[in-house]
Chains A and B, each alone.
Chain A
Amino acid sequence: MDKMKNIKTELPDPSALKEEILKRYPRKIAKKREKSIVINDPDAIPEVQANVRTIPGIITQRGCTYAGCKGVILGPSRDIVNIVHGPIGCSFYAWLTRRNQTQPPTPDSPNFMTYCFSTDMQDSNIVFGGEQKLRQAIKEAYELFHPYSISVFSTCPVGLIGDDIHAACREMKAELGINIFGFSCEGYKGVSQSAGHHIANNRVFTDVVGRKTDKGRLGKFQVNLMGEYNIGGDAFVIEKYFKEMGITLLASFSGNSTIESYEYSQDADVNMVMCHRSINYIAEMMEKKYGIPWFKVNFIGANSSAKSLRKLAEYFGDKELIEKTELLIEREMARVKAVADRVRPKVEGKRAMLFVGGSRAHHYQELFNELGIETLSAGYEFGHRDDYEGRHVIPTIKVDADSRNIEELTVVKSETLFKPELQDKKLLLEQKGFKFEHYEGMMPTMKKNSLVIDDINHWETEKIIEMMKPDLFCAGIKEKYVVQKHGIPLKQLHSYDYGGPYAGFEGAINFYLEMERMLACDIWKMVDAPWKHEPSIMGSMVYE
């Protein structure tokens, strides 16, 4: 019996594979990578080296700070003109490529997400400075579109030549009378997209949240959803559940959102954090300033969706809300079960790997568990130690020079807007065992001997594929066809391969069906030509 149990909870020891990977590296590199390649033990979580510099030349998955700031956090808001101050490329590559869907309420409602704005800096702007061009660009954007807000994003050369984008924003804000603010998110800052998330959180907190204080109550239960970016329509699904439950979603940071909604988001009774990595900063700052408690949710996976909705209902403790929530869960779980029962036998026992993002590599394991798919190995592209090991390690994380360069705001309690009653409520609930500000991280939920790799590179990807031969690999567009050429299907978890939604119960069903398509289909068996495994025909034609 003991042996049976081991098979279920334990994977084979991957030490030899780790050695094999490290052997190829120059000594210094091997020493560094060794700390980022960790063999998991859920009972004694080992430390993972994360959020450290990528080694030049290793072919990383990572992008830059600008991508995290403009692409991830600010990109999905529709009522703002986002001007990228720099050469043309930065704005071009972030133009509609992340699949954030949006639904403006009317055909006339603003939506600038389909547009790409840039100051298209030329060499003369690099030599003589680009501030004047930026001011002019802001003015032109205003004259052309009269948007609700304008924001400006710094790219690499802007930081070097010393353009003061914040001064330009302040001046233009005074001149034009709309909110204009800037992000110093030069690509070279930090070590990955993660620094850009932080920079975006800071500025949205200081320059947007709390600008509108006269909104009044819009519903009985007011919430913000944070770190949900509406890739493939995920947010639409969650919004539907909230509506049915009678929950008023004030602001979503930032899928299907408006900047205007952020301005009164301080009126929320609670903040729910979906992607812990990209948005925990603003949740923490809002608690300090406005007293709004936050808790972690996860709408990926049917079970975690149910758990998250229940947690939300429990927070408000309203009988009717709890009843509605249970009804919704019961109804949806029946639908989910019907599909899961059909798909599970076809995919059960398949083995997956996930290397993506700052929370998706964890969240999607929930969906795999529901189908009986085993996770062999996982890691984040830009996660921190707390995303792996849990938030309790935060005090022990060493702040290095790269992180120190990203501003930590000093937040003070708002005299007028702080809501002590929410903090009282939090205390009461905590006594009952309700967990706020809690995230256990990825590793406690992963099996013993699963291989955790932070900032995986191309060499390591090739090696683990070759040696572990997974049935499915999850990563992004850059890895997609590399892995598939190995004959292994890859599911993109940034763009969902242009499918989805995968959030909520509806999303779980979509994902199950997608796994059925990818893992139980015939095409991968047809890679070799039919004559490849037949003996070659020897001989020649003879004419008589």
Chain B
Amino acid sequence: MLLRHTTATEYKREALTINPAKTCQPVGAMYCALGVHGCLPHSHGSQGCCSYHRSALTRHYKEPVMAATSSFTEGSSVFGGQANLLTGLENIFTIYDPEIVAVHSTCLSETIGDDLPQIIGKARSEGKIPLGKHVIPASTPSYVGSHVTGYANMLKAFVSYFPETTGTKIDQLNILSGWVEPADMRELKRIVSMMGLNAVVLPDTSDVLDTPMTGKYKMYPDGGTTIPDMVSMGDSWHTIALGEFCTRDAATELENKCKVKFSMRELPIGLSATDRFIKALRRYGKVSVPKEVEDERGRLVDVITDMHQYLYGKRVALFGDPDHLVPLTQFLADCGMKPVYVVSGTPGKIFTPLMEKALNGRVPEAKIMNGERADMFQLHQWIKQEGVDLLIGNTYGKYIARDENIPFVRYGFPILDRIGHSYFPSVGYLGGIRLLEKILGVLMDKIDATCPESKFELVM
């Protein structure tokens, strides 16, 4: 057994986290910043942080992930990291020439008390930031929140820096995209254009973390939200913010700064959440829903009704990030499945009410936990107590799946051992079909592999 020391018997833990269902803020800040065109993320801390985050993102995307670091030493930890960041910025602009440097802090620089805006101000006044270039600070201490919080904080930093109000509204919406894959960002843009709307999607990692092989490396790939697009967000009609945990702060900031009102929606994962997203586009874009969107919806409903018998009543355990788990859980319940265990390491009191709303009383036995010690060890113990038919989560779930012989669908961050997540969307109606394809695939593979020969089915 891979996790041979895990037993069904729970022991009350107050301090020890085992097999976390989260990681720390800076990696989220780095991912978010990669979705801005010409932007180089910069980690203000020990060089190990930057190395770990780049490695994690690279393994997930199998793409170049560029970021710089302040390379703290013992000296900087005592006297502060100002000198390191000043040198760092000068070197970055001289050697790598980005349009924007998105600086995020770490537990080290936060504990010392480094003041990023002050240091950046000093860099500017000392001429270390070339004219027309931008440096943006985000405070992302690793001991607060999770990687999801880091994403939210970096997104907020972009929104508080770039958008401007000219007084003339532009015929466009803002979409704050939440932590989804490049393929999902691409799909959001496709849906918006199918609806006949213009929108700025921020951030946008498509064409950044799914670039083609051309034999020519581009340090700053073609994709990413551009500066003019970000500036124009202050004149948009409305903002649709996708995912409470990743985008509410940024949406609020934008409303306060530029008076662009916003609506919170879940990420459009599955049928109901996509319906709500389409309704929001319809309402705030003042358009009617075209037939091709209705057809896509119809195809998703068709697949659910066709395959309902294989989904109905199946017990599912999920772990990952709140903004994914809320709509995903609702989708599973909509399909007649039973999401019985849901765990997220990301803290936030709103998680439980959101989950209750998503489940709407359909799975009274559901156990939901988030925050400190809401980890995969806890989830595994629950599974040991009463088994499940399906496990959904990031790659680390494969250890539980193999030990317990549970069909496993990889979803979330990080996915280190399969491809596809960055190329095929899981948002929108089409994304819903892909999710079902994956879920049904593993459920039916298990039936095929384990049923008695006499019961082996050709047609399913």
Contact = CB atoms under 8 A, between A and B. Distances in A.
Interface of A: 24-26, 29, 53-67, 83, 86-97, 107-108, 110-112, 114-123, 125-126, 133-134, 136-137, 140-141, 143-145, 155-157, 159-161, 186-192, 401-402, 405, 458-459, 462, 476-478, 480-487, 527-528
Contact of B91 (A56, A95, A402): A56
B1 A67 contact: no
Given A485-B64, A485-B211, A64 B46 contact: yes
19 contacts: A24-B95, A57-B89, A57-B95, A59-B68, A62-B51, A83-B16, A88-B20, A88-B146, A89-B142, A111-B5, A136-B14, A156-B108, A188-B108, A402-B73, A459-B95, A482-B64, A483-B217, A485-B218, A486-B215
Given A108-B4, A188-B72, 5 more contacts: A63-B47, A92-B20, A156-B72, A187-B49, A188-B77
Contact of A157 (B26, B88, B95, B108): B108
A119 B17 CA distance: 6
B155 to A, nearest CB: 19
Nearest to B55: A477
* A-B pairs, 6 with minimum CB distance: A64-B48, A89-B24, A57-B88, A57-B91, A56-B88, A87-B142
B5 A145 contact: yes
Interface in B61-93: 62-77, 84-85, 87-92
Contacts of B63: 481
Contact of B20 (A91, A134, A459): A91
Contacts of A476: 55
Contacts of B66: 59, 458, 482
Nearest to A381: B51
B373 interface: yes
A143 B11 contact: yes
Interface residues of B, number: 86
B77 A160 contact: yes
Interface of B: 1-5, 11, 13-20, 22-27, 42, 45-49, 51-56, 58-59, 62-77, 84-85, 87-92, 94-96, 106-108, 110-112, 141-144, 146, 211, 213-219, 345, 372-373, 377, 396, 399
Nearest to B106: A156
Contacts of A140: 11, 13-16
B143 A115 contact: no
B71 A87 contact: no
Contacts of B110: 157
Contacts of A96: 396
Contact of A54 (B47, B141, B216, B377): B47
A478 B58 contact: yes
A57 B90 contact: yes
A123 B144 CA distance: 6
A88 B108 contact: no
Contacts of B56: 93
Contacts of A189: 74
A86 B107 contact: yes
B71 A95 contact: no
Contact of A57 (B11, B45, B68, B345): B68
Contacts of B46: 64-65, 156, 187-188
Nearest to A483: B217
A142 B77 CA distance: 33
B264 to A, nearest CB: 26
Nearest to A60: B47
B68 A188 contact: no
A160 B76 CA distance: 11
A159 B77 contact: yes
Nearest to A466: B217
B215 A487 contact: yes
Contacts of A405: 74
A55 B75 CA distance: 14
Contacts of B48: 63-67, 90, 187
A134 B14 CA distance: 10
A190 to B, nearest CB: 8
A143 B13 CA distance: 10
Given A56-B84, A157-B107, A89 B74 contact: no
A83 B18 CA distance: 9
B45 to A, nearest CB: 7
Given A120-B373, A484-B213, A161 B16 contact: no
Given A55-B87, A156-B108, A187-B108, A87 B143 contact: yes
B112 A160 contact: yes
